[in-house]
């Protein structure tokens, strides 16, 4: 039983809430609220709000409803800035949604649930941890009293996503994936390998392609964060989980291009996997 349950379960949010923030990554969702006002595909809102000290924080959520595909609609969740010192994921996710708005066919068959600021207090402070000094990756599905974990767990429990993706950064030489999908090695290879290559395709300073295989699936986990969003028996059916990390020291534009290309590839690859399964 949680010792603390956030009092407001569905706090309102608007572009103004984020425009008044000082950091660029915090202000970026304001552009998505503006975009959603005149969009037939993008829905803007908030999963909730909470107080940290004297400040009220919101966790924004954007839902992009792609055109109808050939089968059942796939619900995919993308989380960014779970650690507040990783704003690159926020910027990349905003760019990805803007891309989908201008080219909705890329999301055919999908409803994309996007959470660009999962740790708003940490992002505001430029801190890995939230305002309570906690690394949120260690708080999912453990009865945590951290409001951010509570809200995001609730989203996963209610919407029953087929897949979840987290965007982060690390001091590494090459983009890398952690894949959590049980023993489904076929799905892992079908999604992660093409996405790894796609993330590098248009980046001039990407490392040589022959480094992909060594960085793609480490023999030993290189991060305690691997699989942290789905480490529970409460999610049925269990979604696949991808944790995508990019080089923190790369130019900002490089990181965004890497991530957006990887996300595009995952949508395309998973759509192909489902089509094959339906025809078997």
We report the CATH number of the domain holding residue 73 as 3.40.630.10
**SS3 assignment, position 244:** strand
Backbone angles phi, psi at 178, to 5 degrees: -115, 130
- Residue-wise pLDDT for 50-70, tens only, equals 998 888 899 999 999 999 988
CA–CA gap between residue 125 and residue 139 (Å, rounded): 20
Domain assignment present for residue 148? The answer is yes
pLDDT number for residue 172: 58
* Whether 267 contacts 109, CB under 8 Å: no
Segments in the chain below pLDDT 70? 1-12, 22, 172-177, 179-185, 199-226, 280
Residue 3 counted as domain residue: no
Q: Whole-prediction pTM value?
A: 0.85
- Return the pLDDT at 268: 93
Total domain count, the chain? 1
Residue 251: per-residue pLDDT: 79
Cβ atoms within 10 Å, residue 256? 20
Residue 7: inside a domain: no
The 10 Å Cβ neighbour count of residue 183 is 7
Q: Is residue 221 part of a domain?
A: yes
The verdict on residue 81 lying in a domain is: yes
> Helix 88-102 to helix 252-279 angle, to the nearest 10 degrees?
60
pLDDT at 194: 80
Full residue range of the structural domain in which residue 226 is found? 15-279
Could you tell me if residue 10 is inside a domain? Answer: no
Contacts of 66 (CB under 8 A, 6+ apart): 41, 100, 104, 105, 106, 107, 108, 109, 110, 111, 112
């Amino acid at each position: 039983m949680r010792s603390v349950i956030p009092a407001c379960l569905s706090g309102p949010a608007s572009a103004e809430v984020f425009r008044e923030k000082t950091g660029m990554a915090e202000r970026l969702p304001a552009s998505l609220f503006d975009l959603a006002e005149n969009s037939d595909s993008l829905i803007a809102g908030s999963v909730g709000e909470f107080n940290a000290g004297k400040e009220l924080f919101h966790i924004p959520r954007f839902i992009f409803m792609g055109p109808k595909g050939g089968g059942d609609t796939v619900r995919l969740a993308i989380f960014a800035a779970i650690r507040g010192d990783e704003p690159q994921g926020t910027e990349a996710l905003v760019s990805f949604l803007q891309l989908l708005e201008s080219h909705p066919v890329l999301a055919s068959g999908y409803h994309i649930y996007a959470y660009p600021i999962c740790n708003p207090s940490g992002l505001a402070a430029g801190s890995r941890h939230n305002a309570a000094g906690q690394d949120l990756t260690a708080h999912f599905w453990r009865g945590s009293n951290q409001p951010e974990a509570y809200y995001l767990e609730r989203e996963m429990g209610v919407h029953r996503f087929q897949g979840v993706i987290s965007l982060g950064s690390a001091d590494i030489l090459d983009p890398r994936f952690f894949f959590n999908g049980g023993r489904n090695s076929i799905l892992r290879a079908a999604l992660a390998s093409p996405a790894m290559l796609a993330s590098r395709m248009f980046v001039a300073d990407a490392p040589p392609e022959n480094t992909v295989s060594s960085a793609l699936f480490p023999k030993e986990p290189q991060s305690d964060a691997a699989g942290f969003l789905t480490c529970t028996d409460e999610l049925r059916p269990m979604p696949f989980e991808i944790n995508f990390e990019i080089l923190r020291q790369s130019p900002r534009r490089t990181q965004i291009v890497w991530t957006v290309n990887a996300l595009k590839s995952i949508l395309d690859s998973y759509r192909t996997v489902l089509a094959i399964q339906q025809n078997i």
